[in-house]
Amino acid sequence: MRALAHRAVVFGLAALLTACASRPLPPAPPVTELAPGGTLRAAINFGNPILAVKDAANGEPRGVSVDLSRELGRRLGVPVQLVTFNSAGKVVEAVRDAQVDIAFVAIDPVRGADMLQTPPYVIIEGAYLVRNDSPIRRNENVDQANNRVVVGNGSAYDLYLTRELKAAKLVKAPTSPAVTDVMIAQNMEVAAGVKQQLEADAKRVGGVRLLPGRFMVINQAMGLPKGRENAARYLAAFIEQMKASGFVAAALARHGIEGAAVAPPSAP
């Protein structure tokens, strides 16, 4: 019976993935809504190494967000312009002001006020980093009055911790990749950010360690300017196809990304 139940679960999951993968995209809205200038302007954020980095050989952007942008442009039959940024805050401003047509941002109620967003395509973790000799041992120890937590200005961690921290003080670094350097240079107690970024920082600077576990889970989605509701529906279906077909998982593997997971299917 247990084996039969297991096979039933596997079959059900396979059927669900097949249904998602075969679910047709709705008719594409006019290119004037998805790419009003005739070119799809995609915001690429180097502040989150899970999504995009500069290629070491040629300096060009690469990553899952780059791959999704180019695949969307291919399907729409329009050229893609990669507009690069160093912080999520600048990306959000660009979407709000319709300086770009699509972006890749964390789902957050504050950001949702300025843009339309799809269901998530990737889930990543937020972590804390402290010095080796810090008395802080657990995530629960961070929110204390004598602790200063460095975050990237306008990042998902900034927005989340602004709401959640009651006693600790937030200190804003100009970008998320700068949080560890700011923590060390200004003798702060904690740095907060993308777990993979902090792991790389720990190897680079030494004398620091990550706290066990995570303090938040971040759902990464595509965003676009408000007033483009038809385009938003198309992008939501596009994201579901990219997850179900294995495109997102393959992109993460191709770019050597560890610690990020493909988001589960969203309801039709």
What the chain holds in terms of domains, given with CATH numbers, is 2-122+220-262 (3.40.190.10), 124-216 (3.40.190.10)
Per-residue pLDDT, 235: 95
Out of 1-15, 25-39, 127-141, give the one with best mean pLDDT: 127-141
Per-residue pLDDT, 6: 38
Q: What are the Cα distances from residue 221, in Å, to 103, 122, 188?
A: 8, 7, 31
Per-residue pLDDT, 177: 87
Judge whether residue 120 has pLDDT over 60: yes
In b/e form, how buried is each residue of 219-248, taking b as 16+ CB within 10 angstroms? bbbbbbbeebeebbbbbbbbbbbbbbeebb
The one-character DSSP state at 140 is G
For 195-225, the pLDDT digits (tens) are 888 998 999 999 999 999 999 998 999 999 9
The 8 Å CB, 24+ separation contacts for 12-18 are 16/265, 17/244, 17/265
Judge whether residue 15 has pLDDT over 60: no
Q: What is the rounded distance in angstroms from the CA atom of residue 228 to the CA atom of residue 57?
A: 37
Per-residue pLDDT, 59: 87
In b/e form, how buried is each residue of 126-155, taking b as 16+ CB within 10 angstroms? bbbbbbeebebeebebbbeeebebbbbbbb
Per-residue pLDDT, 110: 82
Judge whether residue 13 has pLDDT over 80: no
Per-residue pLDDT, 56: 85
Q: What percent of the chain has pLDDT over 70?
A: 88
pLDDT band at 23 (very low <50, low <70, confident <90, very high): low
For 61-90, the pLDDT digits (tens) are 999 999 999 999 999 999 999 999 988 889
For 164-182, the pLDDT digits (tens) are 999 999 999 998 889 999 9
Per-residue pLDDT, 253: 94
Query: What is the rounded average pLDDT of the residues 138-146?
Result: 96
Per-residue pLDDT, 264: 94
pLDDT band at 30 (very low <50, low <70, confident <90, very high): low
Query: What is the rounded average pLDDT of the residues 13-23?
Result: 43
